[in-house]
């Protein structure tokens, strides 16, 4: 196993937080209440998977601004010496399609309402993970989530800020009957929840208890499925109880590339974790200098632009993709894409490799098991649709489809979309190093690459790697950078043709967590400065 060598004490951007070490168990989350739930579960004798399910089922209660009971999720699990992946994303309802939306007068996929909702997959993934790896009764695992829903919890500052933003966005729908559940559940005060105010979610408690008692059957084939079906019939939606009954999460084999001696693992499409691996394949062919210099950042940005252009063009439900994972990750294709990177910023386009506000957390137990877990509606409170009396806030994930019937990622019933949420994992020489992840939509693969390089290339410790200044390519030659990026680097990047935008709000640059484990079984955890993050350990 790897020893901790990420000890850059002279790093020029000192972190306000320190890494946390522990031996018996650790939960790292962007939400203090969720981290506490993970620790509670571990200290009751649960393993890392039990802790992950406990945190995942609680997150729709304690951070509803980023996910809901009707969300999707993905996870990478290291369990008893083997790496597993689960894809908990749901397909579009059978009746939905580009043609169906055109018939309703749409010229693009809407962001809110009954139309952009896919079959929710998170609950199914929780159940599958528990059935395969859980060590505690499911009712005990989900008990903390139910308790916080019934008794309430004080809202954290970042969640309050996101709630306020959501109020501004969703407030215009308050008079539409299909959105009434949202305002009854999350806007019941007539405004957003301020930091420290107590939020109670009795409908969530009833729903979570029913899910725990029936091992998810009530959600996909029972009482809750009937309520969802009746709601969508009433409001002319696409989702049906038949769509729900047909859903099953998919166990998948994680994919990887070796980057300077470390295997970097992501989940395969329909998610865009492959973007991380494609960018690293390009970057490992360069001799990079110091971290904070224009030449290094230029190469990183250009590699990411090329990788993201490729995934936007090619990644979709695997059976609809016209290229393979192996083709996208081949050394030959990486070399061809690398050759496009010169001294000046380019306008990227997809190549042909065939040659003719999400939540993230991680946890670990004392036995060596570790989980990298991410869960999301897509936008804030998702579609804005909350099934009355249940607390089930439904995703708006269909917005990630293309409104183009000839595109591999075209909206079509029964098909999963290109997905933005990606958990990450590191191994070395076949041994686990640990889980990591950074939420934030299309920032996610960009942050993964930067954090991985921070540790492997520049030997930053996990906390420094997460806190270091970030950049984000946002299209064309436009690149956002954080305020603490050195000014001389910004000037030199501008001379290379990049349009640099200094982003004053750090929340746009993602929010992540990480746990590493050494050969003695010592856990090293970090949660970054851009969130209300908390590390709970013993």
How far, in Å, CA of 434 to CA of 8, rounded? 19
Exposure of 154 in the CB half-sphere (CA atoms within 13 A): 6
- Name, in order, each residue with C-beta under 8 angstroms of 422's C-beta and a sequence gap of 6 or more: 74, 266, 267, 271, 272, 273, 276, 374, 437, 444, 445, 448
Q: Which of 358, 427, 527, 531 is catalytic?
A: 358
41 is catalytic: no
Q: Which of 501, 508, 464, 379 is nearest to 112 (CA)?
A: 379
Place of tokens 């890494």: 19
Answer for the pair 527, 29: CB distance below 8 angstroms, yes or no.
yes
Please name the helix (run of DSSP H) or strand (run of DSSP E) that holds residue 199, with its range, or none.
strand 198-199
* CB atoms near residue 413 (< 10 Å): 14
What is the spatial distance between Cα 72 and Cα 419, in angstroms, rounded to a whole number? Answer: 10
Say how many CA atoms lie within 13 Å of 384 toward its Cβ: 23
State the residue for tokens 């934030």: 440
Return the CA Rg of the chain: 22
For residue 387, list its beta bridge partners.
Answer: 392
Whether 401 and 393 have beta carbons less than 8 Å apart is answered as no
Strand partners, 267: none
For residue 91, give the nearest of 120, 65, 68, 66 by alpha carbon: 120
Closest CA to 358 of 463, 438, 446: 438
265 Cβ contact list (under 8 Å, min separation 6): 76, 83, 254, 255, 256, 424, 425, 426, 427
| Residues identified as active-site | 358
């Amino acid at each position: 196993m790897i020893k901790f060598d990420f000890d850059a004490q002279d790093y020029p951007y000192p972190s306000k937080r320190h890494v946390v070490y522990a031996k018996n168990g650790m939960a790292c989350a962007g939400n203090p209440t969720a981290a506490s739930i993970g620790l509670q579960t571990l200290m009751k004798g649960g393993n890392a998977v039990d802790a992950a399910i406990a945190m995942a089922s609680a997150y729709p209660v304690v951070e509803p601004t980023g996910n809901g009971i009707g969300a999707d999720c993905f996870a990478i699990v290291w369990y008893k010496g083997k790496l597993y992946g689960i894809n908990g994303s749901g397909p579009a309802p059978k009746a939905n399609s580009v043609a169906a939306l055109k018939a309703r007068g749409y010229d693009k996929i809407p962001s809110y309402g009954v139309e952009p909702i896919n079959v929710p997959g998170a609950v199914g993934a929780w159940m599958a993970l528990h059935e395969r790896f859980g060590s505690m009764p499911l009712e005990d695992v989900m008990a903390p989530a139910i308790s916080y829903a019934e008794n309430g919890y004080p809202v954290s500052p970042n969640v309050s800020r996101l709630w306020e933003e959501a109020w501004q966005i969703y407030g215009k729908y308050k008079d539409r009957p299909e959105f009434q559940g949202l305002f009854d559940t999350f806007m019941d005060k007539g405004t957003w929840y301020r930091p420290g105010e107590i939020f109670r979610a009795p409908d969530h408690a009833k729903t979570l208890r029913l899910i725990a008692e029936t091992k998810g059957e009530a959600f996909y084939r029972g009482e809750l499925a009937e309520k969802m079906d009746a709601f969508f019939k009433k409001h002319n939606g696409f989702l049906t109880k038949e769509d729900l009954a047909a859903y099953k999460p998919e166990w998948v084999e994680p994919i990887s590339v070796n980057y300077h001696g470390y295997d970097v693992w992501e989940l395969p499409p329909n998610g865009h974790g492959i973007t991380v691996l494609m960018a690293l394949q390009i970057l490992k062919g360069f001799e990079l200098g110091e971290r904070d210099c224009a030449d290094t950042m230029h190469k990183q940005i250009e590699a990411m632009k090329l990788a993201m252009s490729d995934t936007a063009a090619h990644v979709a439900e695997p059976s609809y993709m016209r290229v393979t994972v192996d083709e996208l990750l081949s050394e030959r294709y990486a070399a061809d894409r690398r050759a496009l990177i010169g001294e000046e910023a380019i306008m990227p386009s997809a190549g042909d490799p065939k040659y003719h506000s999400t939540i993230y957390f991680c946890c670990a137990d004392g036995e060596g098991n570790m989980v990298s877990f991410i869960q999301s509606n897509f936008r804030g409170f998702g579609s804005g649709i909350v099934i009355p009396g249940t607390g089930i806030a439904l995703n708006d994930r269909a917005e990630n489809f293309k409104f183009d019937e000839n595109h591999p990622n075209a909206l079509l019933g029964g098909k999963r979309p290109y997905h933005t949420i990606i958990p990450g994992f590191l191994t070395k020489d076949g041994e686990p190093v640990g889980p990591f992840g950074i939420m934030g939509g299309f920032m996610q693969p960009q942050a993964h690459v930067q954090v991985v390089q921070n540790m492997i290339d520049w030997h930053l410790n996990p906390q420094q790697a997460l806190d270091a200044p970030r950049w984000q390519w946002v299209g064309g030659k436009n690149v956002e950078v954080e305020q603490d990026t050195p000014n001389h680097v910004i000037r030199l990047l501008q001379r290379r043709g990049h349009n640099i935008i200094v982003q004053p709000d750090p929340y746009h640059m993602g929010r992540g967590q990480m746990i590493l484990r050494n050969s003695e079984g010592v856990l090293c955890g970090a949660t970054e400065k851009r969130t209300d993050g908390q590390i709970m350990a013993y």
